[in-house]
Amino acid sequence: MAHPSGAVRVKLWDGPVRIVHWLLVVLIGFSWWASEDHLNWHRWSGYTIVGLVLFRIYWGFAGGGAARFSSFVKGPKAVAAYAATVGRRDVATTPGHNPLGALSVLAILAVLLAQVGTGLFAVDVDAFEAGPFSDRVSFELGRKIAEWHELSFRVLQALVVLHVAAVLFYWVWKRTNLIGAMITGSRALPSDPGLAGAPVWRLIVGVVLAAAIAWVLSKGLRF
Ligand code: HEM
Ligand code: HEM
């Protein structure tokens, strides 16, 4: 059955969640490409990612409905119970991230924090390219941190492959298209969970805060 009977279209992902998601996809790809020979662009793309990740974390507490961590982060019991049923060939009906997908969201956000955090202190082998905080640590430590920066990128790549594989698994095996909802924001569900939106002032506060922190970090706290 392609759609549960009596399905209604439910607004799931708000604009901020979708914009953050697709900007992350584009900018992480761009950062990867620019890490070869365009370290200046690499850093600017990285500072934008700092802002996006900080905003998404803020939105997990201040945003509406399905964006809130409290609406999708579940304890080990719920994760285990969901994992036991994940292979079933039925259409997924969770109004937002399922308990297993929630772990992937948290893991990706945590590794992105590690990625940009190490980037801020990293220095390249001839000290020609460096993050804005690299002069606060010794050259040796800056090099060590650059190695962690590379390592964390490998972990990020693995998580993204797993993430996209999971989305494809839902599409092909469970006949559930999750991608459409990340583009349009809405999806057909058996009933309307009545997710509340967030007032626009919270969005403005979050954007201003995240942009200000990203800018201050890009300056290495020097003015
Ligand atoms: C660099 C690559 C990517 C990263 C870092 C990434 C990261 C994320 C994150 C953090 C979320 C949670 C959304 C939120 O609550 O804010 C998410 C959800 C999602 N992503 Fe990605 N993503 C990537 C690539 C992709 C690609 C290529 C696709 C499509 C093929 C995709 C499809 C989705 C979908 C459908 C969801 C919602 C899943 C659900 O309904 O629970 N992502 N992604
Ligand atoms: C999600 C964001 C980021 C990704 C995916 C990323 C990825 C990478 C990759 C793949 C490399 C090449 C590693 C190597 O082969 O040696 C690299 C190098 C580097 N990155 Fe990032 N990076 C990100 C953010 C940042 C940020 C925010 C900064 C600092 C402002 C930064 C500063 C550097 C520096 C200085 C290097 C050169 C280190 C070296 O040559 O060993 N990166 N990054």
What residue ranges do the domains of the chain occupy?
A: 9-218
pLDDT digits (tens, 9 = 90+) for 58-75: 999 999 889 999 999 999
Binding site membership of 189 for ligand 2 (Cβ less than 6 Å): no
CA–CA separation, 197 and 185 (whole Å): 13
**Which ligand does the CA of 112 lie closest to?**
2
Which one, of 165, 174, 124, 113, lies nearest residue 147 by Cα? 124
What pLDDT sits at residue 183? 98
Which residue(s) pair with 187 in the sheet? 10
Query: pLDDT tens digit string along 22-65?
Result: 999 999 999 999 999 999 999 999 999 999 999 999 999 999 88
Residue nearest (by alpha carbon) to ligand 2 atom 27: 46
Separation between Cα atoms, residue 112 and residue 174, nearest integer Å: 29
In this prediction the pTM is 0.94
CA separation for the pair 53, 47 (Å, rounded): 10
Cα gap 203→157, rounded to integer Å: 30
Residue whose Cα lies nearest atom 14 of ligand 2: it is 150
pLDDT recorded at residue 69: 97
Q: Is 160 close to ligand 1, i.e. is its CB under 6 Å away?
A: yes
Ligand nearest to the CA of 102: 1
Tell me if 190 sits within 8 A of 4, measured CB to CB.
Answer: yes
Q: What is the pLDDT of residue 7?
A: 86
CB within 8 Å of 70: residues ≥ 6 apart: none
**Which is the CATH superfamily of the domain at 9-218?**
Transmembrane di-heme cytochromes, Chain C (1.20.950.20)
Q: What backbone phi and psi angles, to 5 degrees, belong to 222?
A: -120, 135
Residue 2 banded pLDDT, cuts 50, 70, 90: very low
Which residue's CA is the closest to the ligand 1 atom numbered 26?
164
The length of the chain in residues reads 223
214: Cβ below 6 Å to ligand 2? no
User: Cα–Cα distance between 172 and 88 in angstroms, integer?
Assistant: 12
For atom 4 of ligand 1, the residue with the nearest CA is 25
State in Å: Cα 149 to ligand 2 middle.
Answer: 6
Which tokens hold the place of 186?
Answer: 């809405």
Establish whether residue 150 lines the binding site of ligand 2, counting it when its CB lies within 6 angstroms of any ligand atom.
yes
